[in-house]
Amino acid sequence: VLRAPFDGTVMSLATDVGEVVTPAAPLVVLADVSRWRMKTTDLSETDVVLVRSGQKATVTLDAFAGQSFGGAVTEIGALAETNRGNTTYAVTIALDPTTTGLRWGMTAFADISVAP
């Protein structure tokens, strides 16, 4: 019997029926699709200093041309990453609870509303 730490949807299985597994081996990828979040990983060091938790964001997706979804910043990465030679930071945006129709792994773009 497997018990998950939260209600969710099984997105993928990492093992086959009858396969022997070790105690710490991951068996499934579980997602809570009732609360969609996106993570942008290309925010520059000059932009990240303008971002605050709670700031509103507008998210667009290639799959939903002409539509936008509301959200708010929930996390701001404290540690820089190198992305194609540029210093960047990760920012997590929680989408509004009414957002529906999304799929795991869709390409999304975020516009974060920052004060001048």
Residue 1 has pLDDT above 80, yes or no: no
- The domain that holds 46 is classified in CATH as 2.40.30.170
pLDDT for position 93: 96
Residue 11 domain flag: no
Question: Could you report the per-residue pLDDT of 20-32, keeping only the tens digit for each?
Answer: 888 888 888 887 7
| Residue 116: band (very low, low, confident or very high) from pLDDT cuts 50, 70, 90 | low
Number of domains, the chain: 1
Residue 106 domain flag: yes
pTM beyond 0.85:
no
| Residue 94: band (very low, low, confident or very high) from pLDDT cuts 50, 70, 90 | very high
- Helix (H/G/I), strand (E/B), else coil: 48: helix
Residue 26 domain flag: no
Provide the residue range defining the domain that includes 83.
36-112
Contact between 49 and 27 (Cβ < 8 Å): no
Residue 76 domain flag: yes
